[in-house]
């Protein structure tokens, strides 16, 4: 029998990592994962600077479902609004709603 397959009693060894257990005390090199992400974002930024507007227009025209998914993914999930406003006329309500929509649009664009 070769040493590659050790003899066991038939029980499977639990190979899951337990809380607090460290199997590789040296870990990955510092910055390696960050560097990959940084390089990817730089490449993505350069590509977007060159092709972004045209690609967005193409997607909007050719794949509106994908376009809407992208829009939904960049909108904030929650917006907290608080305050009291006394709006007695339709004009006041319309003006307040317009101001709120402008504020929301500015927040989304940041």
Indicate yes or no: pTM above 0.85: no
Residue 68: inside a domain: yes
- Residue 61 falls within a domain, yes or no? yes
Categorise residue 20: left if φ over 0, alpha if ψ from -120 to 50, beta otherwise.
left
Alpha helices in 1-110 (DSSP H): 32-62, 64-74, 90-109
The predicted-structure confidence for 10-69, as pLDDT tens digits, reads as follows: 777 888 888 888 888 887 777 666 777 888 889 999 999 999 999 999 999 999 999 999
**Structural domain harbouring 66:** 30-80
CA 32 – CA 53 distance, rounded (Å): 32
How many domains in the chain?
1
Q: What are the structure tokens assigned to 38, written together? A: 């940084």
Q: Is residue 57 part of a domain?
A: yes
Q: How far apart are CA 47 and CA 72, in angstroms?
A: 22
């Amino acid at each position: 029998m070769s040493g590659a397959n050790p003899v066991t009693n038939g029980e499977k060894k639990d190979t899951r990592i337990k809380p607090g257990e460290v199997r590789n005390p040296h870990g990955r090199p510092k910055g390696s994962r960050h560097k990959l992400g940084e390089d990817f974002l730089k490449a993505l930024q350069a590509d977007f600077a060159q092709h972004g507007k045209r690609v967005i227009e193409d997607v909007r025209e050719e794949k509106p479902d994908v376009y809407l998914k992208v829009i939904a993914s960049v909108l904030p999930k929650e917006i907290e609004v608080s305050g009291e406003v006394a709006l007695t006329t339709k004009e006041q309500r319309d003006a307040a709603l317009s101001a709120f929509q402008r504020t929301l649009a500015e927040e989304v664009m940041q």
